[in-house]
Amino acid sequence: MHSFLIAVIYLILYLISEMNPKKVKKMKYICPQCGSTELYLESGGIMGNIYHCKKCSYVGTFVIEGEEDMVKEIQEGHKVETGKP
């Protein structure tokens, strides 16, 4: 249901990161499911690095790499999502 919204967020974040290649701030790994930054590296393997979210126990190779400002935006986006019926 919300996958489209999430995809749009990813696209926006991608475009922002492409537009500001020189602006290197503190990059954080963000959980694509809940927007939490409490991710830790589970292991590296054939598939690449596997990340584990402490908050929602998401496990996967894909995480959002973003600045601290993006964390807020993503978390706000998740709030909007959950507010819908």
- Which residues lie near Zn ion (CB under 5 A)? 31, 33-34, 36, 53, 55-56, 58
Cα separation of 11 and 15, whole Å? 6
CB of 38 to Zn ion, least distance (A): 8
Closest to Zn ion by CB, 53 vs 74, is: 53
Closest to Zn ion by CB, 10 vs 58, is: 58
Question: Do 25 and 67 form a contact (C-beta atoms < 8 A)?
Answer: yes
Closest to Zn ion by CB, 31 vs 74, is: 31
Question: Do 7 and 39 form a contact (C-beta atoms < 8 A)?
Answer: no
